[in-house]
Structure 1
Amino acid sequence: MSTDYQQARLSLGVRLRELRAEGGLTGRQLADRLGWTQSKVSKLENGKQTPTIADLAAWAKGTGCPDATTELTGRLRGLETQYRSWRRQLAGGYRPVQEAHWAQARKTRCRRSFDPTLIPGLLQTADYARAVLTRYAAIHSAPRDIEAAVQARMGRQDILCDPTRAFHFLIWEGALRARPCSSAALSTQLDRLAPRLGPGNVRVGIIPFEADMHVPAGVGFSIHDDELVITETWHAEMWLDDPGDVALHMRAWEALNRNAVYGTDAHRLVTRAKRSLGA
């Protein structure tokens, strides 16, 4: 969890404690009033648990300050602008996540990204996307609306045809070899990728295994208009708009780009990956 996120959660907890004190309630009394455990009240006040919007509405009403609901909800949304746990995001299924990314894609004029383990979502075939989402769903407790999510992801790809937008993808060679799907689906996916290796508003560079790396590959991320970075871990997705965070990821992307190959050299890597499949 990022330090900035934790500090924001602690600040929200302090505000919750203030409201309880203003209502003249002990933690036990508030817990009893809301039908919660006292430990939940304590965790929320001490920044050890992220509240839901329903939690905040109940807190405001329970402390006799219902008008504070809007303020508390605003604080939570500001906090989650940066840090979005998969548990919370996927509570409504995978399609809403795809739609959130589609909304951001419509705002972005120039996108740079690095993917060390998978073909980027905007370049995926339906079969590849379906296999990836199905495998992620196996470890997340979420509604399995896989087909709806695949359709949403495929629908987003029309944006690549807009010549007023620029896309620059960097892909680690390992992503061409990894098999989150069947060999046949991966072979078709590599065929779909090949035409994108030429010039145009969509540019794809591949970082070979044998590259003398300027920086370690690290985790994947995307940079939107040099103003926003989206990256993720197993448990959360982070949307970072702090200029220092964006600048750091730009430096990492530029260092990775120095190791990337394009055109004919990139085609050789795709062909090499297909040969490993027996294709």
Structure 2
Amino acid sequence: MSTDYQQARVALGTRMRELRAESSLSGRALAARLAWPQSKVSKLETGKQTPTLADVRAWVEGTGRPDAADELVGRLRTLETQYRSWRRQLAGGYLPVQEAHAAQGGRTRVRRSFDPTLIPGLLQTAGYARGVLSRYTTVHPAIRDVEAAVQARMARQRVLKDRGRSFHFLVWEAALISRLCPPVVLADQLECLVPWLVPGRVRLGVIPLDAALSVPAGVGFSIHDDELVITESWHAEMWLDDPEDVALHRRAWDELETSAAYGPDAHRLLARARRRATA
């Protein structure tokens, strides 16, 4: 868990404890009033548990401080914007995650992304997306709605047709050869990338494996209107809107972009990867 996230969660818990104390309620009394275990009140106040929106609303009502609802909800949404654990996000399946990204895609006018191991979601074929999402069930075994998530991912791609938006995708060559689906599916996916090599609103660059890199490839991320960065780890997805965080990722993206191949050079890399997939 990130230090910034934990500090913000502790601060939220401290504020919730202050509201309880100002109402002259003990932790036991508030727990009884809300029909909660006393341990839940303690964990929320000490920052050991993240409250849900329902928890926050119940808290302000239980402490007689409905006027504090907007403040606590704002703090909670800031937490969720910064750090979204996969365990919590995927509790409802893959589909809500795809819907959240679709909503953000509808707000983004200029998107830049870097993917070191995967074809970008907005450029995936259904077969490739199915292969990728199915493999994530190995580490998130509770998920069963892969097909619904695939269809939602395909629907998200309509945003590419909007002439009022632009997209610049960078992929490391490793993403072209990673066997996350059957070879015939991978070959089809690579063929479907070719039209995006033509300069336009949607631009695709490939960073060769043997390119001289000025920065390490690192993890994948996307930058939305230079105002938001979305990146992830095995444990969580981070939505970062602090200007310094955005600027850091933009510097990394700019450096990676200097090593990218475009046009005929990128086409040769795609062709080479396709030959490997069908060999």
Give TM-score, length-normalised by structure 1.
0.92
Structure 2 SS opposite 1:219: coil
Structure 2 CA distance, aligned partners of 1:218 and 1:235?
16
2:199 is aligned to 199
Structure 2 SS opposite 1:277: helix
How far residue 168 of structure 1 moved from its aligned partner, in angstroms, is: 0.6
How far residue 238 of structure 1 moved from its aligned partner, in angstroms, is: 1.3
1:100 is aligned to 100
1:41-190 mapped onto 2 (5 Å cutoff): 41-140=41-140, 142-190=142-190
1:274 is aligned to 274
How far residue 123 of structure 1 moved from its aligned partner, in angstroms, is: 0.3
Counterpart contact for 1:163–1:201, Cα < 8 Å: yes
Task: String of CA shifts for 1:173-194, please: whole Å, max 9, x gaps.
Answer: 1111111211121111111112
Pairing 1:22–2:19 present: no
Coordinate RMSD, CA, aligned: 1.9
Structure 2 SS opposite 1:205: strand
Residue identity (%): 70
Structure 1 CA distance, aligned partners of 2:158 and 2:20?
50
1:9 is aligned to 9
1:264 is aligned to 264
Counterpart contact for 1:223–1:246, Cα < 8 Å: yes
Task: String of CA shifts for 1:34-53, please: whole Å, max 9, x gaps.
Answer: 45444432221122221112
Instruction: State the number of aligned residues.
Output: 279
How far residue 18 of structure 1 moved from its aligned partner, in angstroms, is: 0.9
CA, structure 1 residues 164+54, in 2 after alignment: closer, same or farther (shift >3 Å)? closer
Which amino acid is the alignment partner of residue 5 of structure 1?
Y
CA, structure 1 residues 165+64, in 2 after alignment: closer, same or farther (shift >3 Å)? closer
Counterpart contact for 2:176–2:190, Cα < 8 Å: yes
How far residue 68 of structure 1 moved from its aligned partner, in angstroms, is: 3.9
Structure 2 CA distance, aligned partners of 1:164 and 1:51?
38
Task: String of CA shifts for 1:15-44, please: whole Å, max 9, x gaps.
Answer: 111122123333344345445444432221
How far residue 203 of structure 1 moved from its aligned partner, in angstroms, is: 0.8
Task: String of CA shifts for 1:123-146, please: whole Å, max 9, x gaps.
Answer: 000011112112223322555222
How far residue 162 of structure 1 moved from its aligned partner, in angstroms, is: 2.4
**Runs of 4+ displaced beyond 6 Å:** none
Give TM-score, length-normalised by structure 2.
0.92
Which amino acid is the alignment partner of residue 115 of structure 2?
D
Structure 2 CA distance, aligned partners of 1:16 and 1:236?
25
Structure 2 SS opposite 1:117: coil
Unaligned runs of 5+ in 2: none
Which amino acid is the alignment partner of residue 129 of structure 1?
A
Counterpart contact for 1:87–1:141, Cα < 8 Å: no
Which amino acid is the alignment partner of residue 82 of structure 1?
Q
Which amino acid is the alignment partner of residue 135 of structure 1?
R
Structure 2 SS opposite 1:245: helix
